[in-house]
Structure 1
Amino acid sequence: MNEFTLDLNLTARMPSRKDWRIGTIGSGAIVRGCHQVAYRNAGFNSYAIASRDRSKAEEVAAEFNIPTVHNSWQELIKDKDIEILDIAVPPNRQLEIVREAVKENDHIRGILCQKPLAMNLEEANEIVLLCEQAGVKLAVNSNMRYDQSIRALKTLLENNYFGEIVLATIDMRAIPHWQDFLKEYDRLEMLNMGIHHIDTFRYLFGDPEKVTAITRSDPRTNFPHIDGITQYTFQYADGLMATSLDDVWAWQGEGTQKDMYIKWRVEGTEGMALGEIGWPKFPEKGLSTLKFTTRKFPDQWIEPSWDTVWFPDAFEGTMASLLCAVEEDRLPEINGRDNLRTMATIDALYLSIKEERTVKLTETLQTLK
Structure 2
Amino acid sequence: MSQTPVLAANAHLPRLPERKDWGIGVVGAGFIVRDCHLVAYADAGFPVVGITSRTRSTAEEVARLRGVPRVFDSVEEMLDGPEVGIVDLAVPPQDQPEMIRRVVAHPRKPRGILAQKPLAMTIEEARDLVALCESAGIVLQVNQNMRYDHSVRALKALIDGGALGDPVLATIDMRAIPHWMPWAEGLRSLSTFIMSIHHLDTMRYWLGNPSRVLASTRPDPRTKFPHSDGINLYILEYDHGARGCGWDDVWTGPAREGGGAEIGIRWRFEGTRGTAIGTIGWPGWPDRMPSTIDYSTVDDGQWHRPRWPEAWFPDAFAGPMAGLMIALETGTEPDISGRDNLGTIALCEAVLTAATEHRAVVPAV
Structure 1 length as normaliser, TM-score?
A: 0.95
Give the corresponding residue for 1:110: 112
**Offset, 1:48:** 0.4
Please report the TM-score for the alignment, with normalisation by the length of structure 2.
0.96
- Does residue 7 of structure 2 align to residue 6 of structure 1? yes
Q: Match of 2:63?
A: 61
Preserved contact between residue 76 and residue 106 of structure 2 (Cα < 8 Å): no
The CA distance in 2 between the partners of 1:230 and 1:92, in whole Å, is: 22
Equivalent in 2, 19, 22 of residue 20 of structure 1: 22
* 1:105 to partner: Cα distance: 3.5
State which of 199, 202, 219 in structure 2 corresponds to 1:200: 202
Does the 8 Å CA contact 2:4/2:297 hold for their aligned counterparts? no
The alpha-carbon deviation at position 75 of structure 1 amounts to 2.3
8 A Cα contact 2:52 2:71, kept in partner? yes
- Kindly tell me the number of residue pairs found equivalent between the two proteins: 362
User: Which residue of the other structure, out of 181, 184, 191, is the alignment partner of 2:183?
Assistant: 181
RMSD: 1.3
Runs of 4+ in 1 over 6 A off after TM superposition: none
Deviations 1:343-368 (A, max 9, x none): 0111111111121101112xx22xxx
Tell me the equivalent position of 2:130. 128
Which amino acid counterpart does residue 201 of structure 1 have in structure 2?
A: M
Deviation at 1:177, TM superposition (A): 1.0
Deviation at 1:104, TM superposition (A): 4.4
Taking the aligned partners of 2:173 and 2:236, their CA distance within structure 1 comes to 14
Cα distance between partner residues in 1 of 2:132 and 2:307: 41
- Unaligned stretches of 5+ residues in structure 1: none
Q: Distance in 2 between matches of 1:98 and 1:332?
A: 17
Give the drift of 1:40.
0.7
* Contact 2:87–2:112, Cα closer than 8 Å, also in 1: yes
- TM-superposition CA deviations, 1:218-258 (whole Å, max 9, x none): 00011111201110010000221100000000252243221
Q: How many percent of aligned residue pairs carry the same amino acid?
A: 48
- Where 1:214 maps in the other structure, the secondary structure is strand
Which amino acid in the other structure matches residue 340 of structure 1? L
Q: Please tell me whether the aligned partners of residues 82 and 107 of structure 1 are also in contact (alpha carbons under 8 angstroms).
A: no
Aligned with 2:313 (options 305, 311, 314): 311
Q: Does the aligned pair in 1 maintain the 2:103–2:109 contact within 8 Å?
A: no
Q: Is the 8 A contact 1:171 1:264 kept in 2?
A: yes
- Structure 2: where are the runs of 5+ without partners? none
**Residue type matched to 1:95 in 2?**
P
Alpha-carbon distance, 1:29 to partner: 0.7
Name the aligned partner's letter for residue 148 of structure 1: H
The CA distance in 1 between the partners of 2:89 and 2:12, in whole Å, is 25
Alpha-carbon distance in structure 2 between the residues aligned to 1:115 and 1:255: 33
Residue of structure 1 aligned with 2:293, choices 277, 281, 290 = 290
> Partner of 2:273 in structure 1?
270
Kindly state the Cα deviation for residue 4 of structure 1 after the two structures are TM-superposed. Answer: 3.7
